[in-house]
Amino acid sequence: MSDPGCATPMPLADLLSYWLGEMDQVSEAELEQHFFDCEECSARLARLAQLGRAIKHEIRAGRLSALLPARFIQRLKNAGMRVREYRMQPGGSISCTIAPDDDLVVTHLHAELGNVRRLDVIVDEGEGDVRRLQDVAFDPAAGEVVLFPCSADVRKLGVATLRVELVAVSDGAERALGSYTLNHSPHR
């Protein structure tokens, strides 16, 4: 029966696991039977799916910024996104831009991350605008994190300098892993 009220709503964690393909076959079949029977839970699952698609849209539109692993950038490229990439070693400086036909621009920040437990990133955009991004996600074995700025914001920039510093944090102590200078200018 299609009952708009649900006596046993599926937990959000289960809906997420189902949607992302993590359930075993038995659990998956049980959840499918429930949401086919239940208007409320099918609507919740639809909302979750809609939210997931909206997040994907924001990524593809270049409207989000994040620190991400290089393997994810490869996924974006495999999906056909045009990604302008820069690669920097600690202490390095580059001239960078974003072209009209670039979907995204990213910078690979290489550093020795092997023994790092927590990684913070300090971003200095000049004129006192300094942000500290705490405990970013990273793969210690990768030896790099990728700066993934909001492309829509980068396109609005004039000539600008961005200084980025990677900092390892452990037991209250900090250790600088590298600093990187990005000299941005609009595309000509």
Partner 1 sequence: MPQSLSSDDDAALARRIAAAAPERDKVAEAEVCRRFVPRVRLFGLRRLRSEAAAADLAQEVLIIVLQKLRDGSIREIERLAAFVLGTARQCIVDSRRNASRRERILEAFPVDFPSLVEEGMEHLDSNRLRDCLQGLAERERAVLMMSFYDDHPADVVGIELGLSVANVRVIRHRGIQRLRECMKLDRELS
Interface residues with partner 1 (CB under 8 A) are 1-2, 9, 12-13, 16, 18-22, 32-33, 35-37, 39, 42-59, 63-69, 71-72, 75-76, 79, 121, 133-142
The nearest distance, CB 6 to partner 1, in angstroms, is 11
The nearest distance, CB 85 to partner 1, in angstroms, is 17
In terms of CB distance, is 48 or 96 closer to partner 1? 48
The nearest distance, CB 115 to partner 1, in angstroms, is 13
In terms of CB distance, is 77 or 97 closer to partner 1? 77
Phi then psi for residue 163, to 5 deg, are -110, 130
In terms of CB distance, is 20 or 187 closer to partner 1? 20
Long-range contacts (CB closer than 8 Å, 24 or more residues apart) made by 8-13: 8/34, 9/40, 9/41, 9/44, 10/34, 10/35, 10/41, 10/44, 10/45, 12/44, 12/48
Whose structure tokens read 């030896």?
143
- Nearest alpha-carbon partner for 182 in 120, 130, 106: 106
The nearest distance, CB 95 to partner 1, in angstroms, is 27
**CA–CA dist 26, 29 (Å, integer):** 5
The nearest distance, CB 13 to partner 1, in angstroms, is 6
Q: In what order do the strands lie in the sheet with 93-96?
A: 93-96, 173-184, 160-170, 118-124, 130-133
In terms of CB distance, is 69 or 92 closer to partner 1? 69
The nearest distance, CB 19 to partner 1, in angstroms, is 6
**CA–CA dist 11, 170 (Å, integer):** 36
In terms of CB distance, is 35 or 180 closer to partner 1? 35
Query: Which residues pair with residue 105 across a beta bridge?
Result: 84
Residues in the chain: 188
In terms of CB distance, is 63 or 187 closer to partner 1? 63
